Structure 1
Amino acid sequence: MFTFPIFAVRKIIDRGKTDAAKSGGFRNPYYGFKPGQGEIPGVWLVGDQGVYIMSNGKLPHGERPLVVYSEECHPIGNPDWFHYKQHHFGGDDGIQFIDAEQLIPLFDRNLRCTHLSVQLTETEVSLSLIAR
């Protein structure tokens, strides 16, 4: 399970929309293997050096996307991040696209919740909200 503050997820989505408006759309998370899929507002859940979400708007040359690490899998804040990532994300690097149209209504219906929880299995991504 990976958790992210809802306010941070909203910032990631907003940044992606801003970048897309300035730079001509959204990046394809599937490296062109699935043209047109995932080129909409959302976030990328990335397993790499830790696990984080990032904005998906196209970027001007040299700019970087906005990134927020999960509370459980930050390489600086958690000395066990590598083992946690292997156990809950897998050993390989990867990207999962999460559509903003799935997230925003979920957030808006549950105003008392503070964090998004993302759980991965081999076949699906499960989203839930929690209050801390």
Structure 2
Amino acid sequence: MLSFPIASVREVIARGLTDAQANGGFRNPHYGLQPGKDETPGIWLVGDHGIYLMSNGKLPEGARPMVLYADECDPRSNDDWFTVKRSTYGGDDGIDFLDAEQIEAMMAASPDATHLCIAFTPDTMQIFMVERP
């Protein structure tokens, strides 16, 4: 299971919206293979060098998106990040689009939650909110 502090998730979503407004929309997570698909407010769950959420607003040339590493899979603070990545997201790199409206509705329905969590099974990805002390 991967977890992300809800306050930081909100910041990533807000940054994507700000970038999109300033730069003409949202980036395509499908490497241009599906033009228009998922070019809406959202966040990307990225499995790469660690696992992180990334803002999806278009960026000016040379700018970098906002990134939020999973508490359990941050290569800057967890020497075992690659094992965590392989056991949760898998060995390949990839991007999964998460709709901002759905994520925000889940956060609003769980006002006491502190973390957005993502768990993987062989066939599904489950997203839920938890409250941590």
| TM-score, normalisation: structure 2 | 0.96
Q: Name the counterpart of 2:87.
A: 87
Structure 1 position 26 matched with structure 2 position 26: yes
Does residue 3 of the first structure (1) align with residue 7 of the second (2)? no
Q: Establish whether residue 39 from structure 1 lines up as the match of residue 39 from structure 2.
A: yes
Q: Which runs of 4+ in 1 moved over 4 A?
A: none
- Residue 121 of structure 1 and its aligned partner are, at CA, apart by 3.1
* SS of 2:22 mapped into structure 1: helix
**Cross-structure match for 1:129:** 129
User: Distance between the aligned counterparts of 1:96 and 1:120, measured in 2?
Assistant: 12
Structure 2 residue ranges without an equivalent (≥5): none
Following the alignment from structure 1 to structure 2, what is the Cα–Cα distance between the partners of residues 120 and 65?
A: 25
Q: Is 1:54 the equivalent of 2:64?
A: no
Name the SS for the 1:43 alignment partner: strand
The 3-state SS of whatever aligns with 2:127 is strand
Gaps of 5+ in 1: none
Across the aligned residues of Structure 1 and Structure 2, the Cα RMSD in angstroms comes to 0.9
TM-score (norm 1): 0.97
Identity of aligned residues (%): 52
Deviation at 1:101, TM superposition (A): 1.2
Deviates more, 1:115-124 or 1:88-97: 115-124
Q: Secondary structure at the match of 1:40?
A: coil
Q: Deviations over 1:1-29 (max 9, x none)?
A: 11000011110000000000000000000
Query: How many residue pairs align between the two structures?
Result: 132
